[in-house]
Amino acid sequence: MTEQLDGTAPGAGPPGIATASYAADEALLAELRAAWPTAAVPGDGERGYITTDLDGSEPAAVLRLGDRFAVALVVQPGERFAVVPVVRDEILVTSWRHARAGDGLSAFVAGAPAASERTIDADQTNASVVVGEKVIVKWFRSVGPLPSRATLLLTHLDAVGFRDMPAPLGSVAWRSPAGRELTIAQGDVFLPGARDGWEWCIERVQEHVDHGRAACPAACDPWIGGPLGRLIGRLHAALGTASDTIPEPVSAADPAELAVWRLRAHATLDEALERTVEQDPAAAGVLGAMESSMRADLDRLPVDRPIPTRPVHGDLHVGQVLEWPGGLAVIDFDGNPALGDAANALRQPIERDLAQMLSSLDHVGRVVEHHAAGRAAVGLIVKAWIARTRREFLAALDARPDPALLAAFEVEQECRELVYAARFLPRWRYAPLATLRARYGG
């Protein structure tokens, strides 16, 4: 009998989610279209599980989940569909409104109709609802055109015995007009007391800084590189193990594909420069001084030989690693929501994941240093922490990464961070810029 990640035996653990694929309900679709757009959640201004701007679009399909619940699929650009969970109004039974935690939809899906529901505010890409403090149901806000990489990877990892993740419990899917099974909700074991890495990693470094390098107590335990490296080593080993879900996980990228990656990396640097020039000329000057060195590292991406690939996490940063009383757990295998399907390809070099994690560990230090308002002693401690954490992370891996690939992907990742900052969060620019300056002396 295999234990779940929360330590309970399957029979004594959380409710199960009956993995199911639902067909569209044409009668309900006509009813919902007549009442569209459905009302927002009354009272406090919440819109329930969704934040997508539906822009007046009508649903293209609707799935009936019991008597009170349904999920509308609204057409978006690029053959994608917005997922809009709705509930029949308890007073006006002929009308529908956006579902919210407390309505019972997630509990119904989890097979625990009387259980409590609450949202997790930290998940911005999707909408996550905790059911009965035992199950977490993640509703994808947008699906298609391809099947969910997360569902595929979770099924594969579960099949090969990878246990450093919340145990998957099942999913709800819809067969799209193109004939693809699109996952609209995924259920996993809820890990009580879990905190994401941006919280616990930054806290560790801050405690380390506050106590001073020599006086940091053992309970602080700031040296997280080794545990993270061992965790990611186990993850990549599992991703490279064959299963019925992915019978041949290990493959290779040929030189033509690598040439496309190199061009795409240079294009990302071009965009980072262009957007930074528009918003922050001073930062653009610093970035421009480092441009030639950055391009030299991008050109280290080899285009004369095949490179081993396997399924990868795709968006591997410290925020995807939960710390809870049972240890560490990896989450969110959806890929990077800011990138397209090509950049979120299932099979990539493991150096892609490693570059993302190393970048985020560096940024953890930059966050602590930034909030110290230029205190020189803090800068020295953080610099030493970053160097040791990087060294211990790489040493703990099962396989040695290719230095050329790692260097190129790290530069590209920092450029992606700069583009993200320019598009969504300008105040974040300091972190990737500080990382690049530390590397290239800009």
* Residue 310 Cα distances to 236, 282, 349, angstroms: 8, 40, 6
pLDDT at position 19 is 58
> Which has the closest alpha carbon to 61: 72, 77, 45, 76?
72
pLDDT for the residue 4: 29
Q: Which long-range contacts (CB under 8 A, 24 or more apart) does 409-412 make?
A: 409/301, 409/349, 409/351, 409/352, 409/354, 409/355, 409/356, 410/297, 410/355, 410/358, 410/359, 411/265, 411/269, 411/294, 411/297, 411/298, 412/265, 412/268, 412/269, 412/298, 412/355
pLDDT of residue 145: 85
Structural domains of the chain, with CATH: 10-189 (no CATH), 197-440 (3.90.1200.10)
Phi, psi of 324 (to 5 degrees): -145, 175
pLDDT confidence of residue 233: 97
Output the pLDDT for position 273. Answer: 96
DSSP characters for 101-132?
TTSSHHHHHTT-TTS-EEEETT--SSEEEEET
Rounded Cα distance between 311 and 250, Å, is: 8
Q: Tens-digit pLDDT profile for the chain (442 aa)?
A: 122 233 333 333 445 565 556 667 888 888 888 877 765 554 444 445 765 566 667 888 899 888 889 999 998 888 889 899 999 876 655 678 888 899 999 999 998 888 899 988 765 678 899 999 999 999 998 898 888 899 999 999 999 999 999 999 989 988 888 888 899 999 999 999 999 999 999 999 998 888 765 445 455 567 899 999 999 999 999 999 999 999 999 999 999 999 999 999 999 999 999 999 999 999 999 999 999 999 999 999 999 999 999 999 999 999 999 999 999 999 999 998 778 777 889 999 999 999 999 999 999 999 999 988 767 788 899 999 999 999 999 999 988 999 999 999 999 999 999 999 999 999 999 999 999 999 998 6
Query: Torsion over CA of 392, 393, 397 and 403, rounded to 10 degrees?
Result: -100
| Cα–Cα dist 228/361, whole Å | 10
Map tokens 């991008």 to a residue: 298
